[in-house]
Amino acid sequence: MGGSRSRKERPELVRARVRRGMSQEAAAEALGVTPTTWARWERGEQGVRACYRPRIAAVFEVEAVEVERWIDGWSYGETSSWPIAGCGDGSPAATVRSAALLWRLEMDPSRRHLLASLPFVPGALGEWLVSWNYGTPIASAAQQEGAGRVVGLADVARIVEAQKAFGQIDQRFGAGLVRPVVVKYLNESVTPLLRGRYDDRVGSELMTAAAGMTWLAGWTAFDLNRHGQAQQHFGQALRLAKSGDDPLTGAWVLATLTLQAIHLEEGSWAVWLARAAVDTARRAQAPPRVMALMLAREARATALQTKPAETHDRHSAKQVEQLLVEVERAYAQGTTDRDPEWIDKYDEVELNGQAGGCWRLLGDYARAAACAEAAVTEFSERLPRSAQINRLSAAGAYLGMGELDQALACARAAIPATKALTSARTVERLQRFAGQLEPYEDSVMVREFRDHLNSELAA
């Protein structure tokens, strides 16, 4: 039966494993899949989901594009260049062209898959920060020529309302349910408007609305652990905010890029992005609650970079503590008529939950647990993803205190929501917690928890 090899087999994937001296079982364990799944991948009998491709690249220490070649025979040259969001001369016309290109690629099944597997590229962030901070200001967002229809403020309002509706679905059910609708809306509804005719006022509002919807496309990719794809959209949102002369939206995008860098443990980049967000907000004389969010992200980024609980760096610890005091003072000043709509989601409980992450990195585990538990109580009914993330934050804090029973109880309570949400990020957070249990791996409770977790996620 030594017939010709099936065209679907993946010999390069096999060679990569053999070069590392790994068995199929070892490769499967490193990726968090069953040996049967890995064997099927090698034989080409089963597709490799997008969320696993960056992990394969990390395990075998290669670029993501190499993994694409192993799995699907893709050639990087066959696709648009990375980063899409960096192309063009910075003018509104170039920004519209790059946005339309990105959204069109999202709708192409052959290109969408590659976008989903793009790696996070820290080096691209430096260019974006320079362009944001020092690029030539846009003289006018107007577009009076072209074959497109006349665009008015009512068209802009529809984008804003659509973003609200999509955002509510994302918050309740996770990104997987809503992301396809978001990118389709960008391609089919927002692109024609950007290519229409509008005056400067409408153009500025339109660019801001498009930036917000593009932010949501990036956010939902982030929630699905598609970090290069998310980065593409965040970069494009930053360019649209620049074209709309909207520093507050730009600061929001920078703050979200900060959160992504924190999630990926890119401490230095997280600090640079956070400080750029704070500086942008200050130059724009941002409302107090916008400043509170920016300062909260800077506090978290600084805590991640310095890790005072491990380094015992009191100077850094005081710096983080001072930032958290500034967050409280800013938030206490209340709302203003200049508050952007997006700031409403970052209420006191949300900011306290973010502060909890700082207290954990500072080694004040009791305070971290209290912040997280309060957020769980508030979010359990209306924001299940936020509740799940805070349950795991509480679990990590209790683990820091040596309270293994309580840590496992919090983590176990997070499992049902993780299963219900279409959010790869929440699954990863749960798996990260499981990885923190290694010092207790001889414990019967830990073995039972891991068995329960594996069976629930497999189901």
* 195 and 219 assigned to the same domain: yes
Residue 301 forms part of a structural domain? no
Residues 6+ apart with CB under 8 A from 11: 5
Tell whether 100 is covered by a domain: yes
Of 219, 245, 271, the last residue of a domain is 245
For helices 64-72 and 11-19, what crossing angle results, to 10°?
Answer: 130
Q: Which residues of the chain carry a pLDDT beneath 50?
A: 1-7, 74-81
Does one domain contain both 181 and 119?
yes
* Whether residues 74 and 115 fall in one domain: no
CA 431-432-437 angle, 5° bins: 95
Q: Is 92 found in the same domain as 37?
A: no
Model confidence over 348-357: pLDDT tens digits? 999 999 999 9
Residues 71 and 92 in one domain: no
The pLDDT value recorded for residue 418 is 85
Query: How many Å apart are CA 137 and CA 93, to the nearest integer?
Result: 14
- In a domain? residue 450: no
Find the distance separating the first CA and the last CA of the chain, reported in whole Å: 36
Rounded to whole angstroms, the Cα distance separating 62 from 43 reads 21
- Indicate whether 303 belongs to any domain: no
Whether residue 204 sits in one domain with residue 98: yes
* Closest among 391, 396, 360 to 375, alpha carbons compared: 391
3-state secondary structure at position 339: coil
The encoded tokens of residue 181 equal: 């609708």
Structural domain that includes position 92: 88-245
What residues form DSSP beta bridges with 143?
Answer: 198
Is 217 part of any domain?
yes
Q: Which of 78, 106, 136 is the last residue of a domain?
A: 78
Which CA distances in Å does 208 have to 203, 308, 341, 368, 369? Answer: 9, 38, 12, 36, 37
**Are residues 135 and 178 located together in one domain of the fold?**
yes
Residue ranges of alpha helices (H) inside 307-364 are 308-311, 314-332, 348-362
> Is the residue at 237 inside a domain?
yes
CATH number for the domain including 64? 1.10.260.40
Cα 279 from Cα 297, distance rounded (Å): 13
The answer for residues whose C-beta is within 8 angstroms of residue 215's C-beta and 6 or more apart is 233, 234, 237, 249, 252, 253, 256
- Residue 161, Cβ density class (10 Å: 0-12 exposed, 13-18 middle, ≥19 buried): exposed
* Per-residue model confidence (pLDDT) at position 6: 43
Are the CB atoms for 176 and 224 separated by under 8 Å? yes
Claim to verify: residue 113 and residue 157 sit in the same structural domain? yes
Q: For residue 65, what pLDDT is reported?
A: 66
Positive or negative, the CA dihedral 146, 217, 215, 111 is negative
Domain match, 70 and 154 both: no
pLDDT in tens, 104-157: 989 888 777 778 888 888 878 888 898 898 888 888 899 888 778 999 999 999
- Final residue in a domain of this structure, among 223, 245, 267: 245
Statement to judge: residues 68 and 47 lie in one domain: yes
Distance CA 158, CA 154 (A): 6
Question: What tokens were used for 410?
Answer: 């919090």
**22 CA to centre of own chain:** 31
Same domain, 178 and 232: yes
Q: ω before 83 within 30° of 0 (cis)?
A: yes
The amino acid present at 415, given as its one-letter code, is: I
- Residue 162 inside a domain? The answer is yes
**Overall domain count for the chain:** 2
Report yes or no on 446 lying in a domain. Answer: no
Residues 68 and 113 in one domain: no
Q: What is the pLDDT of residue 85?
A: 58
